């Protein structure tokens, strides 16, 4: 598996619009991307930075997804989102809770 890891600067004055777009547009689109496995979107209240981790089943799917994100920079900028870092990485281990 591979992941695309992003760090984003968020204009807090547009937070409501950003949150709405995340839920109604971004998450559904990401879930439909070929090879999608899982996705996490996080926000650090201390720094105002947002973090995203999107896991995909192959390097090809991850590269395609990264290009898609790069291609949407103008749309991101319209709602006060700037990409600081976008990295494609290999997932070398994973863990999940399996019980209560």
Q: Would 95 be classed as within a structural domain?
A: no
pTM of the model: 0.93
Asked if residue 23 has pLDDT above 90, the reply is yes
Q: At 82, which CATH number?
A: 3.30.70
Ordered strands of the 36-44 beta sheet:
36-44, 49-56, 2-10, 81-90
Structure confidence by residue, pLDDT tens digits, 57-66? 999 999 999 9
pLDDT tens-digit map of 71-92: 999 999 999 999 999 999 999 9
Q: Say if CB 35 and CB 57 are below 8 A apart.
A: yes
Counting DSSP H helices and E strands in the chain, the numbers are 4, 4
Which pLDDT belongs to residue 99?
A: 84
Cα 85 to Cα 8: distance, rounded to the nearest angstrom = 7
Is 46 inside any structural domain?
yes
100 assigned to some structural domain: no
pLDDT at 74: 94
What residue numbers bound the domain in which 8 lies? 2-50+60-90
Report yes or no on 20 lying in a domain: yes
Residue 34 lies in a domain: yes
Residue 99 lies in a domain: no
Q: Please report the pLDDT score of residue 100 as a whole number.
A: 82
The answer to whether residue 67 is domain-embedded is yes
How many structural domains compose the chain? Answer: 1
38 domain residue, yes or no: yes
Mean pLDDT calculated for residue range 20-24: 96
């Amino acid at each position: 598996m591979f992941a695309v890891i992003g760090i984003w600067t968020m204009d807090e004055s547009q937070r409501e619009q950003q949150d709405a777009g995340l839920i109604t547009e971004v998450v559904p689109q990401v879930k439909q991307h070929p090879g999608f496995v899982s996705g996490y979107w996080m926000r650090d209240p201390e720094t105002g930075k947002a973090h995203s981790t999107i896991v995909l089943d192959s390097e090809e799917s991850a590269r395609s997804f990264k290009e898609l994100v790069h291609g949407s920079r103008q749309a991101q900028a319209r709602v006060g989102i700037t990409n600081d870092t976008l990295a494609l990485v290999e997932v070398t281990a994973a863990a999940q809770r399996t019980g209560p």
